[in-house]
A and B are shown apart, each in its own frame.
Chain A
Amino acid sequence: MRYLAIRLGLSAVLLVGVTIITFVLTNLVPGDPITAALGERAAGDPKIVAAYREAQGLDKPPVVQYFVYLGNLLHGDLGTSIGTRNPVVQDLAYAFPATAELAVFAILVAVVIGLTLALVAALRRNRLSDQLIRAVSVVGISVPTFWLAVAAYFLFFFVLHWTPGSGRLSAFYDAPPRVTGLFTVDALLAGQPDVAGDALAHLVLPGMVLAVYTLGLLVRFARSSILDVLNQDYVRAARAKGLPGRRVITAYLLRGALLPILTIVGLAFGSLLSGAVLTEQVFAWGGIGQYAYRASTALDLPSIMGVGLIVGAVYITVNFVIDVVYGFVDPRVRVG
């Protein structure tokens, strides 16, 4: 419990740190967000400019703005987006499930395929299949996500017709009634299997693109981690006493290699969220990434703050969960 409490406290401090850093950075950007939000004519009218400043709270000193923001934050109010004119909470509630659905799909793809490839590579060390998998891993880490997204969209949608086009659903489907915001889940809950299938199919290509970097990273580290464990005495002993191969892998090899793999998954989640900014632009996904891109190019400070906060919170939460899982997987961590 003490271990959990310490981790939780650290997470809360980190979250406050995120608000400070995001606020300072957004206020350091040269350019007035209000004049960016107004049209040419409106920006020339001092009355309209003053009304906008007052409505957005930008007529107060930055320090006051920060504490007002923090106070509102405690009441669940992240302000109103200059760009969409909606409460930022409402925008994020709409956009976050879209990105979450994509990120979870990507992480599942990366973990399942990545761990399998890492296992194959480690078990067939220095053979052709190992060399090939390592090469694929390096390519996965090196290829820029934006380029990969454009190329994959062109190849699989336009040339090969294997995947559907951009967006979360085909144009002739309406979004399913909103329960979780995850289209695949909501469609199933609404008894619309065709919509669920369409939503799942739309997930495949952007999900794969997003997974490539994490997959490459995971293969590299998991392979190395499995190789370390492979040479441990307890694994040799397990094999020597004739345990079945599957049991050696699941109970000895993977379990022993789990800690570094968990670390990579946690780190990769951050890169997934940043990769989503570019991937969502290409695939017109309508999630946090597309929202963040729009907000940052329009100097929409409340939205930028909101995105920073939610991404920071997700990152901290994921790492908190991993820290906790660490403690359970390896009790020595808790003691330390």
Chain B
Amino acid sequence: MHHISKRASALTASAAALALILSGCSAGGSGGGQQASANKTLVVDNTFDLKTSDPARAFELTGSIVDKALYETALTFEGSDVTKPVPQLTTYSMSDDDKTITLTLDGKHVFSSGNPVTIDDIVWSYKRVQGIAGNPSFLLSNLSTGKPFTIEKTSDTTMTISDTVANPALPYILPNPSLGVLDSKTLEENGGTTDKDDKAESYLNGKSAGSGPYQLSSYNATSKVVFVKNPEYTGTAPKYGRVVLQNVTGPSQKTDVQGGQAQLALNLNSQQVNGLESGSIKVAKTTSANVGYLWLNQNEQVSGGVTNDPDFVKAVRHAIDYEALRTVAGSGSTQPGGIVPSQFLGALESDENNTTDAAAAKSDLASSGYAEQTVTLSYPTDATLDGVSFADMAQSVQSNLQDAGITVKLNGLPIATLLDSFRAGKLQAGLMYWGPDFPDPSDYLTFSPGEGLGLRAGWTESMSPEVTKAKEAAIAAEGDARAAAYQAWQKASNADGAFVPLVQAARYAVTNGVTGVTPNAIWTVDLASIE
């Protein structure tokens, strides 16, 4: 039987050789990024949180990248600068009382269908955002009262958006890709309406209907979105005729960009980019606008009589080693002085209440009624702060607090479970983050007593009248006075509040052979600017 086993061995060897030859030939043939570049195909790796490409329904990070490429907005931001809205489809002017913004169409833009962009399209698109009541509909409502803005066409080239109270944030809201302007004629032919009966989502997930630099070629929310150039685009034509945005995990993103499979990787953390820069591989580093924070529940029934003690809160603020948290968050991270991110109007550079001071922590703890109770610190196990593990941050905080004499029990939860309990105000303490809805400090007033986030931490208006007063002053402030007013509100919150701003992590964009990658706090990256 010896000859039989020889034959079997040969078969095995042949099978293995065939597989390797086959894959080897193809790998050589594809040539990774080189051939992609020759065919003007740009490959971008991203860890998807995509749900839809319909701008009126999308409010996820990946959705913003997609919609920024497909749709233009009335106003936009230039590059990374989110402090100054600039015209895109329209110019704008604010009324003296800051209640109304008037948009004036420039009349130069055309949808991929060939239809011109009209003021009716903008009004229709905004009313659709409001009418659908989807994730981003709050953008066109007053955040405190929930009352929708009034949207009116005032002429063939002008329209107004009005709030019932002064709202200087209006121009900062409009560049959001969720407010991308749709071709209303095309959409109405495909089930689009401005109310809950709208049926155009499936159409938009197959074909786009915008005037942006790209149009949709293929779309799969789980794996891949392919864009091709919009021939009707009136702006500077993008350098790449085709873009593939694909869903790839962090470790594979690193291998992809190193191997030339992708030209841009968007979700690598500080450990993964360490030592990566060499040759054509560049690492662009910016500070993320996502703020990681700690909350201490002020509701006596949830706090166990511990986390609602003002001296205990002070002790926690001084016990935390913010420098250690920055180390955990990686090079390029920063400690915000308040809850408003460091790059936004009204950001606080630092605050003495949130500084590491072991002696002050022990003294404050001694003044409090803390009697060695165990504090439960919850954190999400399946979400990160721009790639930084909340578990690592929680362990760092636990260690700091234990050094100060506070016993902490860690409670890692899936984010869906944590959010459920947090939103119900049932968690004693924990770590979470807030990403900006729009780059204006008014977005952060939810961290006030009696407001949405405040109530999750059991923080009612009557508990901190000084903070409420500072919040009202910030809302009333106009023009240049706004920055100082928001800083005063954050100082008041730090002195007597339920939230401790901890860290803004670094965000990395790793490129291989491309330039023009400009990180942006609202849409992460503009695919059309990549060269």
Q: Chain A interface (Cβ within 8 Å of chain B)?
A: 29-33, 35-45, 47-48, 51, 83-86, 91, 94-95, 109, 112-113, 116-117, 119-120, 123-124, 129, 150, 153-154, 156-158, 161-167, 170-172, 174-175, 197-198, 200-202, 204-205, 208, 239, 245-246, 248-249, 281-286, 290-291, 294, 297-299
Contact = CB atoms under 8 A, between A and B. Distances in A.
Interface of B: 1, 3-5, 7-9, 11-12, 15-16, 19-20, 22-30, 32, 35-36, 39, 41, 43, 48, 50-52, 57, 59-60, 133-138, 143, 146, 196, 201-202, 205, 217-218, 220-224, 226, 242, 244, 246-249, 251-252, 255-256, 258-259, 261-262, 382, 414-420, 423, 434, 437, 452
A248 B247 CA distance: 51
A249 B4 contact: yes
Given A35-B423, A166-B248, A197-B26, A117 B12 contact: yes
Q: Is the interface of A mostly helix, strand, loop or mixed?
A: helix
Contact of B48 (A129, A167, A174, A294): A294
A94 B206 CA distance: 14
Contacts of B256: 165-166
Given A30-B417, A41-B138, A42-B135, A157 B222 contact: no
A48 B146 CA distance: 11
A217 to B, nearest CB: 17
Given A47-B133, A163-B27, A174-B226, A31 B4 contact: no
A200 B261 contact: no
A197 B51 CA distance: 32
Contacts of A150: 251-252
B370 to A, nearest CB: 30
Contact of B19 (A120, A204, A298): A204
B222 A36 contact: no
A322 B235 CA distance: 61
Given A48-B137, A86-B202, A282 B252 contact: yes
17 contacts: A41-B437, A83-B222, A85-B205, A85-B221, A119-B8, A120-B9, A129-B9, A158-B259, A165-B32, A165-B259, A171-B36, A171-B244, A172-B39, A197-B25, A204-B19, A249-B4, A284-B249
B154 to A, nearest CB: 28
Given A51-B133, A153-B255, A284-B252, 5 more contacts: A85-B221, A86-B202, A201-B23, A205-B23, A286-B220
Contacts of B437: 41
A296 B336 CA distance: 34
A112 B60 CA distance: 45
A44 B423 contact: yes
Contacts of B32: 161, 165
Given A205-B23, A284-B252, A164 B30 contact: yes
Contact of B5 (A124, A153, A162, A172): A124
Nearest to A198: B26
Nearest to A108: B15
Q: Name the residue in B222, B417, B437 with the highest tally of chain A Cβ atoms < 10 Å from its Cβ.
A: B222
Contacts, number: 223
Contacts of A162: 20, 23-24, 27
Contact of A123 (B4, B15, B35, B262): B4
Contacts of B382: 297
Contact of A51 (B196, B419, B434): B196
Contacts of B41: 171-172
Contacts of A164: 23, 26-27, 30, 261
B419 to A, nearest CB: 6
Contacts of A83: 51, 221-222
B15 A286 contact: no
Contacts of B4: 123, 245-246, 248-249
Contact of B135 (A39, A113, A158): A39
Given A31-B419, A42-B134, A95 B1 contact: no
Q: Which of A29, A163, A170 has the most CB of B within 10 A?
A: A170
A137 B24 CA distance: 25
A117 B5 CA distance: 10
A86 B205 CA distance: 9
Nearest to B6: A120
A198 B27 CA distance: 8
The 3 closest A-B pairs by CB, nearest first: A201-B26, A286-B223, A165-B261
B406 to A, nearest CB: 27
A172 B22 contact: no
Given A123-B1, A284-B247, A290-B247, A36 B15 contact: no
B135 A120 contact: no
B431 to A, nearest CB: 15
B9 to A, nearest CB: 6
A113 B9 CA distance: 10
Contacts of B9: 116, 120, 129
A40 B59 CA distance: 10
Contacts of B16: 113
A94 B143 CA distance: 39
Contact of B22 (A154, A158, A204): A204
A158 B260 CA distance: 9
B222 A95 contact: yes
Given A153-B255, A174-B218, A31 B414 contact: yes
A94 B205 CA distance: 14
Given A109-B19, A165-B256, A201-B25, A42 B59 contact: yes
B415 A36 contact: yes
A120 B224 contact: no
Given A113-B12, A174-B217, A284-B223, A45 B27 contact: no
A201 B27 contact: yes
A198 B30 contact: yes
A60 to B, nearest CB: 19
A35 B26 contact: no
